[in-house]
Structures are given as C-alpha cells and as structure tokens.
Chain A
Amino acid sequence: MTASHDIETRLRETAEGFLGVKKVDLFLGYEKASLPFRTTPVFVTAPEEAGRLAWNPFCAANLAVYLPRLFKAPADAREAKAASPPTVAVVVKGCDARSVVALIQEHQVPREKLVLIGVACPGMVDARKAENVLGDREALGAGEDAGGNIRAVVEDGTEVTLRREQVLADACLECRSPTPVLYDMLLGTPAEPREAGAARRRIAEFESRPPEARWARFRQMVSKCIRCNACRQACPMCYCRDCLLDQARPRWVGAGTDFSDVAIFHLLRAFHMAGRCTECGACARACPMGIDARLLARKLGQEVEDLYGYRPGEAIDATPPLSAFAMDDPQEFLTEP
C-alpha cells in the first residue's frame, strides 16, 4: 500500500505543478469511482483539482483511448479557428505506454504535445473477477493492504481479503511489459514481466485441439456477443472515424446477432489489430457479456512476432508490420498445384 500511496502523492504533486505553470493544459489520470474495484478517468484542468487523482490496484483503464479524439484534425474551418491542440499529460502503465507509442507511429497523436507520466505497473484488479470471488456478498468498499492484496468490506461490515493473484485481470497475468517503454517521467519500481510464456501457452493450448473443437469453442465464445461494439470503442487502436464494420455502402457485416455477422465482426476486428494490439485488455474489460475479446488479437500478435519479428508499441520510429514487407517474407501458406 505504501508504494501505491507514494505514487498517488507524486501524481498529485506533479499534476498540481504542471497545471500551475501551464506546462500542460490537461492532466489525464484516474480518480475514485462510485463503485468498489473500479476507478474512473479524470480530466484535470485546474491545479486545485489535482487532489482528485488516485493511484491504486483498480486503475485498469487504458487512458490512451482518449488521446486520438483530443488531437483530431479540425472537421471544418470553424473548428480550425478554435484553440490549437492541447498539451496533455497522461498517466500510462506499461501496456498504455505501448498504445501511445503505436498511436504516435500511426500519426494519431503528436509526441511533442504529450507528457507521459509512466508508472511501473504491478498488475490491476479485474472488478468482475473480484465480484465473482465474493459471490453473493456485495462489496461496499475496497482498498489495498500492506501486502498488496485487496481488502474488501462487504454488506454486513465484515472485511474480506482477496489475494491479488486471484483477482488480477487476465491481461495482467500475461503481461510482458509492466514498465512503460516511453515516458517523460517514471514512477514506481520497474518490475520484471510476469511469466513471459503465459499467453503463448494459452494460444498453444487452444491450437492443440482439432479444428472442429476449435470452431466449437470459437462459436461458443462469440455467440454471446450482442454487437454493442464496446470492445472496439474501448480499444485505443480503434480510432477510425468510419469503421469498416459500421459501413453501410457497401455493408460488409450485418448489424445484428446472426452468427455469421458476429463471427466476421470479431475476425475482421482482430485482423485489424494484427501488429497493433498492445495486450492491454481494455476490450475484454469493456465487454458486458464477458467474452475474452483478446484471444484472436493475441494469436495474430504472436504470428506477427514469429513471422516478422515485430512487437507493437516498442519504438516510435518502427514501421508497422503491415506497412512493410521483405522479399523473403515466409510464404509456406501458398497453394502449389
């Protein structure tokens, strides 16, 4: 708890300082939410509001998702006359920083307008996992204890301790980049990534099943989808103004819950994440139906690593893999008559 508390204090001091001298126009961080196990993003614009900033095990959201809209090109002359893009300080964990790098690579945000407040991340709690562990008891409040575990207070006033490992988000359990790769200042103690092979093992386990079993599993997974688009909206890399999957002329994918449309929505979205997904888990967190939206993008991320030696979000001057090619790219997948 002391580590989080120190980081929280530093964040507040930094925000107050930066906003006070107008080094930044906006300080984007987390604040306490109205329900336990969660935080909510806060857009601090005045130094006296810096005290709202929080840092705790519930800071799971990827704040990079808010950046593209802050730097969107003006839509018309009237907008162009409005104030120039703000200078934004944003709190970024390891995965979030990779998203920011990827957004810079794709020219969606200007590096010079960002002040990246990096925080080395110990992993964040998944609110739904925590609520499932508590079962029938509803938590009314939750915090971090000295050992880094979560202490929740339930309805009848009793305290329940949840081991951190039990309630960490799946994305965090597979995290390979807990420390931001790009930052203007770094808080917290850089940590080693967790089990480097966890995600690979999960993919390998899925692939070890025969094709029909894989199809059945995929079908079962996406059949719950209600086409709310939360996964897409929560993803920092899905910033297209006119998404292919919404397009009406021509309509590539129907709007309803027909299985074929649902399957193609997820397949195409995953495909658009190839070499761009930074494994932050925002998609799975946002999904109201509990679908693990990370699986397909993770598989493609692994393929991109293995085939082209590229990991997204590591270097702002790297060329994205699908904007590049090599004469000797592998082509075993071709059909030979």
Chain B
Amino acid sequence: MTEKRIPQTDVDRFLARLREQATVYAPTKDDAGDVVLGELASGEPVVLEYRNFRLSPKAFLLPQNLTLLHLKDGKAEEPGPTDRRVILFGVRPCDARAILALDQVFLEGGQHDPYYAHLRATSVLISLACERPMSSCFCTSVGGGPGDGAGADVLAVPLDADLLLMPQTPRGEALLSSVADLLQDASPPALKEAQERIHAAEELVAPVKVEDCAPRLRAAYDSPLWEAAGRKCLGCGTCSFLCPTCHCFDITDEVRNGTGRRVRTWDCCAYPLFTLHASGHNPRPTAKERWRQRIMHKFRYAVENCDRPFCVGCGRCIRYCPAGMDLRTVLKEVGA
C-alpha cells in the first residue's frame, strides 16, 4: 500500500471532496466549545488540535438507540437496508483499535449481528495519530499506541506541515485513490519523520502494569481490594457509556396498541439492576461485585476468550468518573 501525503492547509479541501461520496464526520467545535466528532457541514473548517472526544465513535456502529424491529398491527418487520455511507475522520488510534474488539463480539465466533455488520460495512475510518497524550492515557500498555493503525482504514499522522496518510486496509487504499489528485506520494524522509513523532508521543504515555493481568486477576478474585475500591462506585454508567469497547445492551419493546418498535439501547454492568433476576435474586448485589466484574471482563475474561484486553487505554473512565475511580490503581494492586 502506498503512503500518501497532503499539506495540512489542504485538509479542508480533502474533506470537502470526501463529502461528495459520503457523510463525513470530523472534529468540529460544538456550541459549548468542545471538540466533537460531528457531521461536517459544507465549508466548515476541521479542528486538528484536540486530545480526544468525550463520546467514543462506537456510537456510529453501536448506536445508543437502535430500532431492531418495527411492529405494525401486531406484525414485525425488520428495518430495510439503508444507503448509508459514512466516513469518520479524526478518530484516535485507541478508539480505532477498540472497534476490533467490537468486531470480535458482534461479527466473529459464530456471531453475526446484522445491524452492527451493516453499520460497520458502511463506515470508513480515518484515524489521526496523537501527538500529545494525556496523563490518563495508557494505550501503549494494552497493545496500542499513539501511532497505531489497527482498526482504521487509513492512519493519518500529522507532520510538521503535512498530513501523512497511510492506508491500512484495501478500503482505505480505495478511499485514497478516489481523491488521488489531491495527494502526493510520501517520501522516505516523511515516513521517517512520522516514525520519530510517533515514537516521541509513545514516550509520553505512562506505562501501566498489564502483563499477566489474566492470571493475576484470577488469583485475586477473593481479594479484599474489590470491596475497598468498589464501594465508591455510584453505578452511574458513565464509564460504560463513554468506553469505546463496552458493548452491553438492553432490548425493550415500545408498543402502543400493536404498533411500535423493538429497540436496543446501551446498558451498563455497573447498574444495580443489570443482573437482577426475575426471582429477585441478584448475583452481583453490591458495588463490590459489579466493580470486580467490570475489571474481570476487561482484563481477564476478554484476554482468556478473545486474546485481547477489552480496554484500549483511552482514559475516559478515569477522566469522567464522578467518584474518581481509576482502574489503573486496581491493576497495580492486583498481584502486587
């Protein structure tokens, strides 16, 4: 695959051309002044200076609110295929990598979720390498990095004046070919500059001890640390809803006199009701069990079953937790 480059001053033009083939979502400022992955309007300038978005891009593949079935006069109908075409520009490498975890859940191992598959097949991802990781980032400890291209179709790396565009998949290659007239080939010095910048960013990411997390967690199942750490949890749902790999959902019917729909919405294992049985029994009755489950799922069960932790080190759960919980502290304590 041939690496390309484009001057950063031409990025708006590049995105405008992409808008001709699909709906483009790119970093823009919302009315509160936050940088979000929003629909790029005609002529709207893209923002390239940001750390990461509050909401992860999983909402594009796993919407908060998705209609699975329409119900009319008691008969069920699946929603038809759409002509959706979406390009996501500016997704950070951690969030792109998270999509591979979602792929494992929804598309592999005998699963084929048609809703997820449709949205996945109609989305092209251009990720943007990080230059300034935050103190809450730890992508390098969970298999990723600020310049990691996994999960993306194209990895864009900011250079001094240019943006390097590195296709990661045939779809990414095809996307770049469609706007080939705007792009130049990337020279070896440009590639070297990209490597150096990525390496410099990697050095800024504080490491977290994740090695052997699965066996360490297995041994620590009955440790008192779960009560001590977990009892602070409010069960607020923020961590799961913002997490790019969390994917648990609930299915409810909204029906009025035989007409309505079946919807899939986000759910959270930290909610007290999450494992409440119809009998009234709850196998995870307190915050301790739920906090333990959360860590176990991400760093033990996922590692044992999917060969990857279900965490990409984006740090959102640490930044936004109103109780100041930090799973890095737990990982450090386990097996210490």
Contacts and interface: CB of A to CB of B under 8 A. Distances in A.
Contacts of A161: none
Given A35-B135, A40-B324, A254 B254 contact: yes
A230 B65 CA distance: 18
B219 interface: no
A290 B272 CA distance: 24
B226 to A, nearest CB: 13
Contact of A227 (B64, B285, B318): B64
B232 A228 contact: no
Interface string B38-54: 00000000000101001
Q: Which interface residue of B234, B254, B263, B329 has the most chain A CB atoms within 10 A?
A: B234
Nearest to A42: B232
A175 to B, nearest CB: 19
Interface in A253-280: 254-258
Nearest to A285: B322
Given A34-B329, A140-B135, A256 B263 contact: yes
A102 interface: no
Closest 7 CB pairs of A and B: A40-B324, A256-B65, A230-B236, A33-B324, A228-B237, A286-B322, A233-B236
User: Chain B's interface: helix, strand, loop or mixed, by majority?
Assistant: loop
B328 interface: yes
B236 A228 contact: yes
Interface of B: 32-34, 49, 51, 54-55, 64-65, 132, 134-136, 228, 231-232, 234-238, 241-242, 250, 252, 254, 263, 265-266, 268, 271-273, 285-287, 318-320, 322-326, 328-329
Contacts of A69: 286-287
Contacts of B320: 288
B236 A35 contact: no
A251 B255 CA distance: 10
Q: Which interface residue of B65, B254, B322, B323 has the most chain A CB atoms within 10 A?
A: B322
Given A255-B250, A289-B54, 16 more contacts: A33-B326, A34-B326, A38-B324, A41-B232, A61-B322, A65-B234, A66-B231, A66-B232, A75-B285, A226-B55, A226-B266, A230-B322, A241-B272, A251-B252, A254-B252, A290-B34
Given A61-B323, A285-B322, A288-B242, A234 B252 contact: no
Given A138-B135, A254-B263, A256-B265, A286 B238 contact: yes
B33 to A, nearest CB: 8
B232 A43 contact: yes
20 contacts: A38-B324, A40-B232, A43-B232, A61-B322, A61-B323, A61-B324, A66-B232, A140-B135, A226-B64, A226-B241, A229-B236, A229-B237, A230-B236, A233-B234, A233-B235, A251-B252, A255-B263, A285-B322, A288-B54, A290-B34
A288 B64 contact: no
A227 B329 CA distance: 28
B263 A288 contact: no
Contact of A255 (B32, B134, B265, B319): B265
Contact of B64 (A138, A155, A257): A257
Given A39-B324, A256-B263, A256-B265, A288 B241 contact: yes
A41 B324 contact: yes
